[in-house]
Structure 1
């Protein structure tokens, strides 16, 4: 018989999702091709495109999902098609596909629906809006990109990609308005009915109570429904129609269970709480999305039904626990009424009346309590062995405990009466101790007086299990508030660092818990914030910590290599570069680090090859273009340098380093107006960059506007007090404006910062010469000559002029 086509497709889909979840992508692709050949539908095309995209084959994913994706008739195909368009730089096609499918994803939110057992197969409004914003941003439509990212954050404030994109675009965002706790968003995390019903969540029954009272706990292994149920089809939100076969089997087993329990109930219609198996069956049906009425509780078994399965009552005790002789057993069997014995074996007894429901161990009805309060005679009860075997107790517990509750409330026994024997007891010998009065409880099948003489356990009243998820909303609200508060601090630091406000960003990151500070992302952001302040020494410490925490991380390593380049640590930079390249040769950050190492070694040709390789690996890597432009500038290849800088700006409009590079090229070419224009453009992006401010002052100084240049030098020194070059330019400007005392203070600080720089001592010598301090001038010129012998001609000219001054001062 040919299999059902829909069932085959369902099994194949579950197999594909299984392999995707377990990262067996090649197997997932293999079965996706089988499914697409068997069922030519949009769903099959989506799964095939998804497998190709997960494997990094964007071109094949584009072709596979284009038919249904570009028309917007299937959300999954449209989403994969748009993702492929983003990789292939076909931004307009991706935007068109998502806009056509807008009716399929608008006003949908899947946050909180993803767990270890449930998952949404298709993206929601936040995910699609974020992808649409990325496409608009790449398409250079900033206005629509901002709107899409805002919509994504309104739907899901935990969409960090959208927030980071807004910060990287330079948009002013209000963090308290984004990361705020709302009831509508918190309710997305509420667990659906049936999702929290697990065996671990139900209160465990004490071990002595299970053994003595007869409560049977159903475990995972013994549950027939749980063992045979497969949830693969529901992991990604498949419809109930795809599991029609499983549902039909589940319904059939449920009907058989109810019919069996109703047949066992006999004529006794007393209600009993549901058994564990029925509760588990209902929970499984609820998880599969089937709305059904709970099955009727199984009725209590009657005396007649128990008579056929309880040999301990009618057939005497088993041989394993026999405590009496064979003669006494035969004597007791002969004195029992034969009609009761035969009827109990051959056919079940009819349902007893309410007053005749209690019987002794031999089957005699218990005499009802007299109205006048007189005690019944104990001879009315037949004797039973004082102890029953463990097997008989287990059989009775299994027969009577089906569908019963964990414990049964037993009425308190009456005070014992005096022991009075009755003559003519039928020759049964001694009577079992019956000091307790019979309990007038219709729910008890066996008289308490006929129970074994073993000490009865204390009946423990097990409280009803607490409804699952009763306090979940409160816990979820607390967890969301904690997460949102944490995100506010991290978002504040990220926003400030994107605005290049390094000090404020550092304060935000330092307010995080210590455990969060010691994470790679936070350490990288703190290092970058200090790098943007030109505080290379402290920035290096954070990147060293980052390398200890995550030695395999390649992101932000190009910044770390630049820090080592500024600190002139050639050995550390070379070690970092070779370690990164060996670990991952196709990483653009690794090749940028290697290029910086060659640049520090003054081998610019090798550095250019490394930067070119980084660009080949990542064509949108703006910093690689900038480093390439710096090397062309060092080689005085200004046309190539300008091309590289412009390509960096095309990759990232807010990459201020490229504007700085263009300004430096025009400055060297003597075009100071264009240099000022590009320096100011870079300063608008990064208003607190000390080097940019110093460059503006330098250009103004070369234009003979020393008065206008001096404020820029002072501001640059305030922003970077430990930068020797900036203080050197400030000291020269002070000397040019005649502020010699302030210039002397700056040069003394500069000498302490860089005592091995010949330029510092040369400038101190000239300042001493201007102050008529010939001895100090000679000392500093001599130190400068020893530090830089190449500048001996210029230093000797200054010394000769100083000797002439000394000779003139000695004249009368």
Structure 2
């Protein structure tokens, strides 16, 4: 039909509005194509209404995708479950027509997204696993598993499957693409129990239960106008949401600012970056093709697919390590990726986030700078870059980044996070809060923007609002460990050490490789007079990050409290070399030598501490005059970090 062909052509060329207009000329029974065009235009409610009363498989799939966009997760999942008997087992070859009917792997992936949105992690995992068994090229399903906390084995996932093998064969077209499900007897078909076999996945969920941060004056003059949303802006926002590019699940950050957002983000490979899977022709112009040409083409196509799978094993291995905060292993895995792919913005972004989680700010900055040079319009993970600049206290660079991002896309939550960080670094906390609030308005699932709001409320000592912000972060992403860290920090400041310990442990369960979290647990245990358990936490923190001065300091401090000055001295000697100008280290060395009866060494280090920090002269002189007393914290503070 000429009209349908014209609509397909409009969609192929990106003219969605034109396709929608032409759909108005279709017959009433062509509901599926109309609903599909509405979906492509980001008109989720219109697509939902158009498709919900129709029972062909195409309409059910559009309806479920509209439910995903409208966050009606359960309704969409149940609709797909009802139609399971009609899409389960449908291979790609059967449906390579212009009818936009999904194959079973697409349905499983969509079902996984819906169950994940609904909060049913078990069923979401099962759906993603089934999708990847059929089609390992569904990267969305793989990252979905990672975001849910599953233990994945990429080498067992990215393997050639019958569906992928069929892609190398000549396509066959099936005109019977509209399967009516009106006769289905059971409205909600239950998901069959998965078979027990090793396919590269092992569920390992987190509990139902975070790092450093202003801009030039011109930013202040733009804040009022920029935080308003007019009609045109809302229209553009709907279009932006239709692309599925959100700030959600960006996955990763470090505690405080440094216990880093989420992030949970699903990572997509753009159409431009997908290798061409079509077999190249071996026929010479004007000459008949050899008889074995189709077979050679098929083998060549399978070889191409295998190369893609080999690449995805390397990328998936790095991504899986990073999702579990195994950053050193992640860096090793990404280093194994061939250079032409390792220098792509997506891979560089993962490398930058790994450095960020390791608190290697300078290295992370260099990586993100390369991303800005290669893809200056890229918005994904720019909130992490802005956090890196916050940690490095680079006000001018951060202000420039924020200004550039807002100019590029004022509907991007990452841009508003960068602007908020710029204000935060200048200690304009109220302005920063406005920016982070704007980010969450643009994307209510952007967990790290809520966490950054919480940090600013803590800076304002508004603990009730901070608690609310951190809880919103966890609600947006239950595995966002920065939110749990933030809650622990607030309860610690309120003196509720047992509650603080609970939240710090929840954060540590999600990110067990973060040394700062172990230190914070040890600190609240120490405050509760649980000295020996506190020491265990500090020992663990030093083992996790031998470069952590804070962990070594706290460990030395607890050794001194336990009357173990020799052990304390070993840690302090390391700290003296790492931070020779830190008054706290020399003050603690003075106390340690005094406890060991080495008065000359004690006076020497007390004097150095006094010269480094004259403001603490009274405190240091009192320590010099008193023998055998254990000062509480020695003046050392960890509050400069945020997750």
Aligned to 1:187: 166
Alpha-carbon distance change, 780 to 572 in structure 1, aligned in 2, over 3 angstroms: farther
Which residue is 1:661 aligned to?
A: 486
Among candidates 94, 112, 128, match of residue 149 of structure 1: 128
The 1:166/1:698 distance shift into structure 2, 3 A limit, reads same
Give the greater-gyration-radius structure (CA).
1
Judged with a 3 Å threshold, the aligned counterparts in structure 2 of structure 1 residues 693 and 493 are, in CA distance, closer, same or farther, namely same
TM-score, normalization: structure 1?
0.60
Displacement of 1:86 after TM fit? 1.1
Q: Give the direction of change, closer, same or farther, for the CA distance of 1:751–1:30 in structure 2 (3 Å limit).
A: same
**Structure-2 change in CA distance of 1:568 and 1:184 (3 Å):** closer
Post-superposition offset of 1:197: 13
Take 1:601 and 1:787, find their aligned partners in 2: how far apart are those partners? 26
**Number of the residue aligned with 2:271:** none
The CA deviation string for residues 141-180 of structure 1, in whole angstroms up to 9 with x for no partner, is 2222122112211221111111111111012234333222
Is this contact kept in 2: 1:533–1:719, CA < 8 A? no
For the residues of structure 1 that align with 2:106 and 2:534, how far apart are their CA atoms? 50
Q: Which has the higher contact order (CA 8 A, sep 6+)?
A: 2
Report the counterpart of residue 533 of structure 2 in structure 1: 708
Tell me how far apart the structure 2 counterparts of residues 570 and 132 of structure 1 sit (CA, whole Å): 44
Q: Distance in 1 between matches of 2:568 and 2:605?
A: 15
- The answer for the alignment partner of 1:110 in structure 2 is 92
1:34 counterpart residue number: 25
- Deviation of 1:191 after TM superposition, in Å, equals 2.2
Tell me the CA shift for residue 15 of structure 1: 0.9
1:13 and 2:4 correspond: yes
Give runs of ≥4 in structure 1 deviating > 6 Å: 111-114, 196-200
Conserved 8 A contact 1:110-1:120: no
Separation in 1 of the partners of 2:279 and 2:316? Answer: 37
- 1:92 equivalent in structure 2: 74
1:678 and 1:203 map into 2 onto residues whose CA distance is 68
Residues 542-581 of structure 1 aligned to structure 2 (within 5 Å): 542-581=367-406
Shift of 1:34: 2.0
Q: Does residue 691 of the first structure (1) align with residue 496 of the second (2)?
A: no
Q: How does 1:383-782 map to 2 (within 5 A)?
A: 465-466=290-291, 468-772=293-597, 776-782=601-607
Q: Say whether 1:59 aligns with 2:45.
A: yes
Q: Distance in 2 between matches of 1:57 and 1:151?
A: 29
- Mean alpha-carbon deviation: is it higher for 609-618 or for 594-603? 594-603
Q: CA deviation at 1:782?
A: 4.4
Alignment counterpart, residue 34 of structure 2, candidates 48, 51, 65: 48
Deviation sequence 1:203-260 (CA, Å, 0-9, x none): 3459xxxxxxxxxxxxxxxxxxxxxxxxxxxxxxxxxxxxxxxxxxxxxxxxxxxxxx
Q: C-alpha distance in 2, partners of 1:783/1:582?
A: 50
1:775 Cα deviation (Å)?
5.2
Q: Following superposition of structure 1 onto structure 2, how do residues 275-290 of structure 1 map, counting pairs within 5 Å?
A: none
Whether 1:79 aligns to 2:61 is: yes
2:95–2:103 CA contact under 8 A, matched in 1: no
Q: Deviation string for 1:444-502 (max 9, x for gaps)?
A: xxxxxxxxxxxxxxxxxxx8754542312221222222222221222222222212222
What's the counterpart of residue 305 of structure 1?
none
Pairwise CA distance, 1:54: 1.9
- Number of matched residues? 524
Q: What SS does the aligned partner of 2:53 have? A: helix
Question: 2:324 and 2:110 mapped to 1: Cα distance?
Answer: 24
Shift of 1:13: 0.8
Conserved in 2, the CA contact under 8 Å of 1:535 and 1:720?
A: no
Structure 2 runs not aligned, ≥5 long = 174-276, 628-643
Q: Secondary structure at the match of 1:180?
A: coil
| Cα distance in 2 for residues equivalent to 1:198 and 1:591 | 45
Contact persistence 1:694–1:713 (CA under 8 A): yes
Query: Does the CA-based 8 Å contact 1:645-1:662 persist in structure 2?
Result: yes
CA pair 183-18 structure 1, distance change in 2 beyond 3 A: closer
- Give the match for residue 139 of structure 1: 118
Counterpart in 2 of 1:399? none
Alpha-carbon distance between aligned partners in 2 of 1:104 and 1:512, rounded to the nearest angstrom:
40
Cα deviation per residue 1:237-288 (whole Å; 9 max; x = unaligned)?
xxxxxxxxxxxxxxxxxxxxxxxxxxxxxxxxxxxxxxxxxxxxxxxxxxxx
For residue 294 of structure 2, give the secondary structure of its aligned residue in structure 1: coil
Q: Does 1:158 align with 2:137?
A: yes
3-state SS, counterpart of residue 574 of structure 1 = helix
Please name the residue that 2:284 is paired with.
203
Counterpart CA distance in 1 for 2:345 and 2:401 is 17
Q: Give the whole-Å Cα distance in 1 for the aligned partners of 2:626 and 2:100.
A: 84
Correspondence for 1:177: 156
Residues 327-383 of structure 1 show CA distances to partners (whole Å, capped at 9, x for unaligned) of xxxxxxxxxxxxxxxxxxxxxxxxxxxxxxxxxxxxxxxxxxxxxxxxxxxxxxxxx
Deviation of 1:103 after TM superposition, in Å, equals 4.1
CA distance in 1, matches of 2:560, 2:81: 65
Match of 2:254 in 1: none
Q: 1:126, 1:153 within 8 Å by CA — same for their partners in 2?
A: yes
Cα deviation code 1:414-445 (max 9, x no counterpart): xxxxxxxxxxxxxxxxxxxxxxxxxxxxxxxx
1:432 maps to none
Mapping 1:286-297, distance limit 5 Å:
none
How many Å separate the matches in 2 of 1:753 and 1:570?
Answer: 26
Q: For the Cα contact (< 8 Å) 2:282–2:297, is it kept in 1? A: no
Deviation at 1:515, TM superposition (A): 1.5
- Cα–Cα, structure 1 residues 97 and 788, in superposed 2: closer, same or farther, change >3 Å? same
